[in-house]
Amino acid sequence: MEVEHLEIREHMRRFPPFDGLSEERLNDIASQVEVGYFKAGSVILEFGQDIKDLYYIRSGAVEIYRRNGELYNRLSEGEIFGQLGLLMSRKARFPAKALEDTLIYFINQELFDVLWENEDEFADFVEIEDQYGLRKAITQRQSENDLLSSRVRKLITREPVALPSKTSLQDVARHMTDEGVSSLIITEDQVGEGGEAHPRMVGIITDRDLRTRALAEGLAYDTPIADIMSSDLITVGADDFVFEAMLMMLRYNIHHLPVLHRDRPIGVIALSDIIRYESQSSIYLVNDIHHKQNQAELGALTPDIRATFVRMVNEDANSHMIGSAIAGIGRSITQRLLELAEAELGPPPVPYCFLALGSMARDEQFVVTDQDNALVLDDAFDPEQHDDYFMKLATYVSDGLAACGYDYCKGGIMGTNPTWRQPLQVWKQYFTDWIEKPDPQALLNSSIFFDLDGIYGETDFAEILKDLVARRARRSQMFLACLARNALNRTPPLGFFRTFVMENDGKHNNSINLKRRGTAPLADVIRVHALACGSTAQNSFDRLDAIADARVLGHTNGDELRDALEFMAIVRARHQALDIEAGRDPDNNVEPEHLSSLERRTLKDAFQILSNAQKFLKMRYQVNRV
């Protein structure tokens, strides 16, 4: 093979869809390629022009236009165009112009047809166009991660050991010892329609329960196990993923999970079963959090939190796992601070619910975050008698969070602000007014408070507010239209990278704030659609499931939004992990020059999907400005 053909082959094998082709196929392509040169500003393709080649950019940059003259895309080294024309009418469907001096490799129509008919990856790429690269990148990461691909049933090594609820403590302890288990399922007989009695799971007991609830309390050996069992059961499905079981243990700080199949327990998995799949030690960290005795001890865990984050990123956890784990850690810190505050201040004078807001409520929290929280108080709250207590409690928690690395909210969205420390009836009125009178401040509040999670106390208060929002928001097209307009204020940095709008504030020169210009505006778009279909889900991926079920997006199920959110979030997480490993303060500002060519190209695809999603939102709600 001639030297110039070798150079062509080696260049093309670096880029999709050619990177998956065999050596023989690449040699065949390289030997048939023709080369063309286009000066900056010159036309490469006109709409409707006969097209006989696939265009591959060797160097330079090309702008692709719609037939009405609107800019559609910008392409750079290693990217292709002209494929849709070859697949359909043999006419150019999108005009193309050289943005700068550009060298093009021409792959003739006959060879293109051979590749399309015989190479599945090539065919998928040219048919699905931009989204293929993004889907492939996400799928590959997921397939390489055991946490994402392994089902809980793989962890089950034996059937569950069960005893009736009337069994004595002594008999339970003996049975656990004989069976060599650290937990037991507790059952009661339930009479079926035919009169037969069937055991029904009503609780669980663990080694730790026997120590802390029986021995430490000096209970008699003949005490029925029903008196100390845990009856508020948290369970996991046999076909759920291992990472979902891990996140459940993390969220609720539990060490044993009954596994159900068709509502019947088929086993119990323990913390030790998860450990061989989960090496980030986030569960151990949460357990450690709940043993700390003051703010300083909790603050000392900050390096461990960052180390957990870095390990999860480096072990290819997905953004949902990382976001849920870090939010779970933050939730546990907040819960422990509330326990310590109550121990110092005494029991609360009236019931209350502590609300987490924003990324913690959505389970999408990374290590660069501030604190957004609020207090919902029982309607028996009397400001003169009770507010001093709750002000001190909110201050204790807010100061403790700051000591743990959660910055004070610059906008004052904290329970220390009396506006956000109110009875349930006031909160109901807040949410009702924001929906019925969507002025700019109301819309700003909606974008913050409509992501909420009750993490301590009377958490039913939070569920009441979620239901109120879901019920009222879907019925108000005016509110949804205003919220949609608000969701269009932050646009993605398209033009990657030659006409890219970089940050220009000195410290973060020539960078992209991937939260402000990527994940946050996409979460805003998803929130509007979720409210439109009446969903009470908070996590963006869960909201996308609800959106797909409601067919809000018409012909698509939202997979492209899911992929775009996942990829942008992972690039952001990797950037923060690299900052931490290098001893720098982590931030959200990603420098494109530090990304690989594949990451830059895939990130551009994700930004294009965000842009298209905003255009759809604009059209759906007839918004007059972007």
Q: How far is residue 384's CA from residue 234's CA, in Å, rounded to a whole number?
A: 39
Nearest Cα residue to 435 out of 457, 468, 459: 468
Quick one: 528 and 614 in the same domain? yes
Is the pLDDT at 558 greater than 90? The verdict is: no
Question: Which run of H or of E encompasses 257?
Answer: strand 256-261
Lowest mean pLDDT among 36-45, 84-93, 460-469: 84-93
CB 56 within 8 A of CB 48: no
Q: How confident is the model at residue 501 (pLDDT cuts 50, 70, 90)?
A: low
Each residue's pLDDT tens digit, 538-550: 999 999 999 999 8
Answer yes or no: is 329 within a domain: yes
State the average pLDDT over residues 2-12. Answer: 87
Query: 551 or 193, which is more confident?
Result: 551
* Domain finish residue from 128, 163, 179: 128
Quick one: 60 and 121 in the same domain? yes
- Residue at 221: amino acid letter: Y
Tokens of 182: 């650290």
Query: 134 or 564, which is more confident?
Result: 564
Looking at residue 251, which CATH number applies to its domain? 3.10.580.10
Answer yes or no: is 286 within a domain: no
Nearest Cα residue to 226 out of 282, 179, 185: 185
Looking at residue 93, which CATH number applies to its domain? 2.60.120.10
Site of tokens 């690039």: 571
Alpha-carbon distances, residue 69 vs 39, 47, 95, 186, 611 (angstroms): 20, 10, 8, 70, 18
Quick one: 200 and 122 in the same domain? no
Lowest mean pLDDT among 124-133, 224-233, 441-450, 613-622: 124-133
Q: In a 3-state reduction of DSSP, which class is residue 121? A: helix
Quick one: 328 and 437 in the same domain? yes
Answer yes or no: is 138 within a domain: no
CB 330 within 8 A of CB 302: no
Burial (Cβ within 10 Å: 0-12, 13-18, ≥19) of residue 91: middle
Non-local CB neighbours of 53 within 8 Å, separated by 6+ positions: 34, 82, 86, 106, 107, 108, 109, 112
Each residue's pLDDT tens digit, 347-364: 999 999 999 999 999 999
Is the pLDDT at 146 greater than 80? The verdict is: no
- Residue at 541: amino acid letter: F
Q: Residue 587 CB: number of other CB atoms within 10 A?
A: 17
The pLDDT value recorded for residue 298 is 94
Is the pLDDT at 500 greater than 50? The verdict is: no
Q: How far is residue 271's CA from residue 158's CA, in Å, rounded to a whole number?
A: 16
DSSP state of 594: G
Q: How confident is the model at residue 485 (pLDDT cuts 50, 70, 90)?
A: very high
Quick one: 230 and 92 in the same domain? no
The pLDDT value recorded for residue 406 is 94
Pairing between β-strand 183-191 and β-strand 162-164 as defined by DSSP bridges = parallel
Domain containing 124 equals 3-128
CB 312 within 8 A of CB 282: yes
Nearest Cα residue to 539 out of 332, 367, 319: 319
Query: In the chain, how many H helices and how many E strands?
Result: 24, 20
Question: How many CA atoms lie less than 13 Å away from 616 in the CB half-sphere?
Answer: 18
Q: How confident is the model at residue 138 (pLDDT cuts 50, 70, 90)?
A: low
Is the pLDDT at 283 greater than 70? The verdict is: no
Lowest mean pLDDT among 87-96, 214-223, 422-431: 87-96
Q: What percent of the chain has pLDDT over 70?
A: 90
Q: How far is residue 407's CA from residue 422's CA, in Å, rounded to a whole number?
A: 23
DSSP state of 409: P
Quick one: 45 and 108 in the same domain? yes
Q: How confident is the model at residue 493 (pLDDT cuts 50, 70, 90)?
A: confident
Answer yes or no: is 294 within a domain: no
Lowest mean pLDDT among 41-55, 318-332, 390-404, 507-521: 507-521
pLDDT, mean over the chain: 87
Each residue's pLDDT tens digit, 596-610: 766 777 888 889 899
The pLDDT value recorded for residue 262 is 81
Answer yes or no: is 440 within a domain: yes
Torsion angle, alpha carbons of 336, 341, 347, 349, to 10: -120
The pLDDT value recorded for residue 365 is 94
Is the pLDDT at 216 greater than 70? The verdict is: yes
The pLDDT value recorded for residue 421 is 97
Q: Which residues of 570-579 are buried (b: 16+ CB within 10 A; e: fewer)?
A: bbbbbbbbbb
The DSSP bridge partners found for residue 452 are: 357
Number of compact structural domains in the chain: 3
The pLDDT value recorded for residue 279 is 43
Burial (Cβ within 10 Å: 0-12, 13-18, ≥19) of residue 350: middle
Pairing between β-strand 256-261 and β-strand 236-237 as defined by DSSP bridges = parallel
Quick one: 410 and 267 in the same domain? no
Is the pLDDT at 154 greater than 90? The verdict is: no
Quick one: 109 and 176 in the same domain? no
Pairing between β-strand 421-423 and β-strand 373-377 as defined by DSSP bridges = parallel
Provide the whole-model pTM: 0.69
The pLDDT value recorded for residue 144 is 47
Non-local CB neighbours of 118 within 8 Å, separated by 6+ positions: none
Q: Which residues of 190-217 are buried (b: 16+ CB within 10 A; e: fewer)?
A: eeeeeeeeebebbbbbbeebbeebbeee
Is the pLDDT at 483 greater than 90? The verdict is: yes
Peptide bond into 17 cis (omega under 30): yes
Q: How confident is the model at residue 623 (pLDDT cuts 50, 70, 90)?
A: confident
State the average pLDDT over residues 296-323. Answer: 88
State the average pLDDT over residues 214-221. Answer: 87
| Sheet-wide strand order for 43-45 | 43-45, 96-98, 62-65, 71-75
Answer yes or no: is 497 within a domain: yes
Question: Which run of H or of E encompasses 27?
Answer: helix 23-32
Alpha-carbon distances, residue 624 vs 303, 477, 488, 618 (angstroms): 47, 15, 11, 7
State the average pLDDT over residues 119-136. Answer: 67
Peptide bond into 497 cis (omega under 30): yes
Tokens of 273: 């079963």
Non-local CB neighbours of 599 within 8 Å, separated by 6+ positions: 571
* Domain finish residue from 80, 112, 128: 128
The alpha-helical segments, DSSP class H, found in 487-553 are 520-532, 540-550
Quick one: 369 and 503 in the same domain? yes
Quick one: 493 and 616 in the same domain? yes
Is the pLDDT at 471 greater than 60? The verdict is: yes
Answer yes or no: is 291 within a domain: no
The pLDDT value recorded for residue 496 is 42
Q: How confident is the model at residue 498 (pLDDT cuts 50, 70, 90)?
A: very low
Site of tokens 């690269």: 133
Answer yes or no: is 579 within a domain: yes
Listing DSSP states for 456-470 in one string gives EE-THHHHHHHHHHH
Nearest Cα residue to 607 out of 540, 516, 531: 516
Each residue's pLDDT tens digit, 225-239: 999 999 888 899 888
- Residue at 91: amino acid letter: K
The pLDDT value recorded for residue 194 is 66
Quick one: 159 and 247 in the same domain? yes
Q: How far is residue 141's CA from residue 318's CA, in Å, rounded to a whole number?
A: 8
Please state the φ and ψ torsions of residue 80, each to the nearest 5 degrees. -120, 160
* Domain finish residue from 128, 160, 181: 128
Quick one: 75 and 216 in the same domain? no
